[in-house]
Chains A and B, each alone.
Chain A
């Protein structure tokens, strides 16, 4: 038994460091499940698109994302749609994807709106407002800029005009 003493000590101390470190680690980093901030990873989602496909972050891995939360009843969202469409056309060849996540409306409303405005970037349905909650979106519209490495670079609340949107995407593409 005397010989086994040292390994036993080392094993137990290591276990304590690992378990304790994990417990403290989750308290410091994991415990906070607050809203995502710039620098965080965007929360995962799995949503049906207007195109009938499933859209999620994995699908757009390696691409810069502009995630825009909108609704047809939100005037500012409606106002910024043409700007989003213009920038989508401008940047889509450079691996930039604009995702318009509609909050809580049904197919008919969204389809009619899209037909009217002629936007053709992916539009996703968040019918239960689950993803809006996860992203902590309060005012609408809110737009998340996620770089190619899957990190939120900036979060913009309120209406975006063509110029600021262009600047934001340019910084996004330049960012690592």
Chain B
């Protein structure tokens, strides 16, 4: 079906146009039929871009997304889905390993099981939720494109002289006689309108005054902001953009933050507990020990060279340091380290035994013995110590052979070959337990006796407290990287700009024409009709026409 879209003013309108793009005459209306009704001014009466006579497959998809009704449904469905996701704890919220297939059933019963079966336990990462977001995104893009360009065209080339029907069917209308020639009246009207902030265009006995047109773009600016926001949310999952994990950081150690180029040193961990008097009676009775404050003195390093090279030590550069407390994270370029938990461990890191001569009592000096990755050769005084074997957790197997029972330094033992004065040429063997009570438990002296009796000549002594270095705590930090956040904030910022554009300014237009001494005036605004009415009445007053504000309202006092 082909409709004649040519208006009586000679303008050829696109399909779907409600008002003639040029003169504003309403199209396809039987004469007399509903001619007193207000005009549909949405999108300024122009056609949405996608409206065409014979839509094909692509047009149909396009039209689906272009529809505001569809957009509203999509948003509503997404809203409901997002609400369902808040009913039970989401899978992503669990720190420790847990099995979702049994957890929900155990905790919430049948409802929990159904919840899990429907995939609601991981709503925000499920394919259907993301599909909804993608569809909203598509709708935003297509809706905007479909309306912005036609609206821009309609507003940028407005015809000044409008059809009589266009004027009389606006919501603000005035009709009345004026004296003098039309052209002269129109020229006189320019100054007062300009004073009210209007841009005025005239065409003989016709006038168009317009202000704050930019507020019409507010909704589309909002759309652009939402698109940026949605894109940021959808692509948060890209590698390197997002990390939300919990890791242990032992005191005094530099630990690589997995999957990143960063290393974190836990310089010192401190915890302060509430004293008896500070606690409530309830807590005191329970005998609870409640931490008041825990803090990780953290230093963040970035690896700059030989980062993924197992043969070389990584080169680290300090980039940030911060005392991490609860709600006071370390924050560096999108990486955040939150204090989450801690554990008291008391693990031996290193000892500095002193080599002492049993016979003369002479002290030869100290050397540093690390539990992990110790040096294998030491020179102390005239003696050379070669580390032959190391047991972190000393024990004996069924054949009475020494073994290590675990990877933790619970009962460390070190077997040395020592060469030097007063010792056999090929050296003698010496086993050393840093813990005193274990020296007795495992019989260090007896073992050394069996190994060749160097202990008659030499002794390892721990002379001072500082000679022992313990890891007292490990700190549990929540490491978060969210590089999508700047885009999220940018998107929301653009949305805010759009909202302000639409909220605080209104696009107001006044058209008027004088035919044979009769002034016909029509006014249109996006909102605040009362303000518009007042503005028109005060304008008419300066022009010498007394008119009641309310009488300007065409078609009753609807607001």
Residues of A near any B CB (own CB < 8 A): 1, 5-6, 8-10, 12-13, 16, 19-20, 23-24, 26-28, 30-31, 46-48, 52, 54, 71-73, 103-109, 112, 125, 127-128, 130, 133
Contacts and interface: CB of A to CB of B under 8 A. Distances in A.
3 A-B pairs with the lowest CB-CB distances in the bound complex, closest first: A20-B134, A48-B310, A23-B234
B70 to A, nearest CB: 14
A23 B235 contact: yes
30 contacts: A5-B49, A8-B145, A10-B58, A12-B141, A12-B142, A13-B58, A16-B137, A19-B134, A20-B134, A23-B130, A23-B134, A23-B235, A23-B237, A24-B127, A26-B237, A28-B127, A31-B125, A46-B308, A46-B310, A52-B311, A54-B310, A73-B392, A103-B407, A106-B373, A106-B374, A106-B390, A107-B373, A109-B389, A125-B310, A130-B256
Interface in B376-399: 376, 387-390, 392-393
Nearest to B126: A27
Contacts of B177: none
Contacts of A31: 125, 237
Contact of A12 (B145, B234, B237, B393): B145
Interface of B: 49-50, 58-59, 61-62, 125-127, 130-131, 133-135, 137-138, 141-142, 145, 149, 231, 234-235, 237-238, 255-256, 258, 308-311, 372-374, 376, 387-390, 392-393, 403-407
A20 B137 CA distance: 9
B219 to A, nearest CB: 19
A40 B131 CA distance: 26
B138 to A, nearest CB: 5
A125 B310 CA distance: 9
A28 B407 CA distance: 38
A46 B306 CA distance: 12
A5 B63 CA distance: 13
Chain A binding surface, main DSSP class: helix
B130 A24 contact: yes
A41 to B, nearest CB: 15
Chain B binding surface, main DSSP class: mixed
B237 A30 contact: yes
B372 A106 contact: yes
Q: Which of B58, B310, B393 has the most CB of A within 10 A?
A: B310
B403 A73 contact: yes
Nearest to A49: B310
A12 B142 CA distance: 8
Contacts of B61: 13
A133 B404 CA distance: 22
A20 B373 CA distance: 50
Contacts of A47: 310
B404 A72 contact: yes
Nearest to B397: A75
Contacts of B235: 23
A36 B86 CA distance: 30
Contacts of A133: 258
Contacts of B231: 19
Contacts of B387: 108
Contact of B407 (A16, A46, A73): A73
A9 B149 CA distance: 14
B376 A108 contact: yes
Given A24-B127, A125-B310, 12 more contacts: A9-B62, A19-B231, A23-B134, A27-B125, A31-B125, A48-B310, A48-B311, A72-B404, A73-B407, A106-B373, A109-B392, A112-B389
A107 B389 CA distance: 10
A16 B138 contact: yes
A71 B407 contact: yes
A106 B50 CA distance: 69
B550 to A, nearest CB: 44
Contacts of B142: 12
B372 A108 contact: no
Contacts of B130: 23-24, 27
Nearest to B391: A109
B125 A105 contact: no
A148 B131 CA distance: 37
Nearest to B373: A106
Q: Which of A19, A27, A46, A104 has the most CB of B within 10 A?
A: A27
A27 B145 contact: no
Contacts of A72: 403-404
A1 B133 CA distance: 30
Contacts of A130: 256, 258
A150 B141 CA distance: 42
Contact of A16 (B134, B255, B374, B392): B134
Contact of A9 (B58, B258, B392, B406): B58
B67 to A, nearest CB: 15
B141 A27 contact: no
Contacts of B407: 71, 73, 103-105
A9 B256 CA distance: 48
